[in-house]
Amino acid sequence: MAELLTGVFATSSTLDGDLTFDGATLAAGDSVVWFWAPWCTICRAEAPEVAEIAERYASQVNLIGVPGRGELDAMVEFVDDTGTGSLTHVTDLDGDIWSAFGVYGQPAFAFIDDDGTVEVFIGGLGGDALAERIDELIAT
């Protein structure tokens, strides 16, 4: 798992302009990757709850966003509009990260257990459902 995470994120940059994102941080503990697109209405609707959950679980889970299927300017605007700027967002303009996780639609979530197990959920999750999934993740 660590090889996948460091490999797929090796040439990725964060939306705020940092040159690279170290995927090893996701392998260091329980993590959640939220895949979203800037034009996705479901992503936009769930974004404030994702940000709130990320803040609530910040000491227990790494939660990052991976925008794709859109233009960089629209991604920045999405983050500004939805109040998700406290999350790290790793851009995936070529779709390599989405493909590596088998994500074919948005929104989607990848739940990465600290033992290396990955479970991908395609579809939206409300705040309560996301919190339940994270509680299950950190319980194992």
**pTM tops 0.85:** yes
CA 133/CA 95 separation, integer angstroms = 25
Per the structure block, which two tokens stand in for 102? Answer: 């088998």
Q: Cβ neighbours of residue 17 under 8 Å, at least 6 residues apart? A: none
pLDDT at 4: 63
- Domains of the chain from N-terminus onward: 29-139 (3.40.30.10)
pLDDT surpassing 80 at residue 83 = yes
Q: Say which range, 22-31, 52-61, 71-80, has the weakest mean pLDDT.
A: 22-31
Per the structure block, which two tokens stand in for 7? Answer: 């490999």
pLDDT digits (tens, 9 = 90+) for 24-56: 778 788 999 999 999 999 999 999 999 999 999
CA 105/CA 117 separation, integer angstroms = 21
Q: How many residues does the chain have?
A: 140
Order across the sheet with 108-112: list the strands: 88-89, 62-67, 31-36, 108-112, 118-122
